């Protein structure tokens, strides 16, 4: 039976691919107030702005590639059962070859209906006002915005409960409920935290690797060698 490695990834995982982190310290995301482009209120107030914002993010996604850290995680599947729970909305884990990826905060290359959250479709081009679901409702980015529930959190908790090793990569550990997931592994499970500027975690069993994802993963692999 292969050991089960659960990997929690955040914006730092994709930073080395050229994907900008979620927002700057001034609360702006690509020059926009995050509440204007990442909240239900922002969408109701100015849907064209929000759709254009995510259309630009979708275009940027076509210009970037998985980095060495994405590829290393995919290659881990040769020797381990690997489950990735990501806060990222890009598809770089999948493009690197990872088979089991759960997106907590949605996916850029999908849309959903504002009238039926269960109506979700793959969508790789621009979303425009007037793009409707089969029941006539406007389509919106399949993104979990501020103030919205995180529908995948229970599934993520169940995954963490089965971990033999937990690895956290490139996250500030400030965004909830994602930041609480490390609390759901068994008490005996080793936890590794890879980030160039790691948040302070009051947990004796966490091994901190203060490096970017690519070089931090190399050190992690050395540490878990049998």
Question: Hey, which residues are catalytic here?
Answer: 105
How far is CA 5 from its chain centroid? 17
For residue 24, the SS3 value is: coil
Phi, psi of 60 (to 5 degrees): -60, -35
Looking up tokens 């881990």 gives 76
DSSP letters, 86-144, are ES--S-HHHHHT-S-EEETTEEEEEEEESS-TT-EEE--S---TT-B-TTSPBEEEEE-
| 3-state per-residue secondary structure call for 162-174 | CCCEEEEECCCCC
């Amino acid at each position: 039976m292969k050991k089960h490695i659960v990997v929690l990834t955040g914006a730092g995982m994709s930073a080395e691919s050229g994907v900008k982190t979620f927002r700057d310290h001034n609360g702006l995301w690509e020059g926009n107030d995050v509440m204007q482009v990442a909240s239900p209120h922002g969408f109701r107030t100015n849907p064209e702005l929000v759709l254009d914002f995510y259309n630009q993010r979708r275009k940027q996604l076509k210009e970037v590639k998985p980095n060495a850290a994405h590829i290393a995680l995919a290659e881990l599947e040769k020797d381990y059962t690997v489950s990735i729970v990501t806060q990222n909305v890009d598809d770089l884990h999948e493009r690197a070859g990872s088979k089991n990826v759960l997106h907590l905060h949605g996916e850029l290359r999908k849309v959903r209906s504002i009238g039926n959250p269960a109506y979700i479709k793959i969508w790789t081009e621009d979303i425009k006002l007037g793009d409707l679901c089969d029941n006539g409702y406007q389509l919106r980015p399949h993104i979990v915005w501020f103030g919205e529930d995180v529908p995948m959190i229970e599934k993520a908790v169940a995954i963490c409960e089965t971990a033999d090793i937990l690895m956290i990569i490139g996250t500030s550990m400030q965004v909830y409920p994602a930041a609480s997931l490390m609390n759901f592994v068994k008490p005996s499970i080793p936890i590794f935290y890879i980030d160039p500027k790691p948040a302070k975690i009051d947990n004796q069993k966490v091994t901190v690797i203060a490096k970017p994802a690519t070089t931090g993963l190399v050190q992690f692999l050395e540490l878990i060698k049998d």
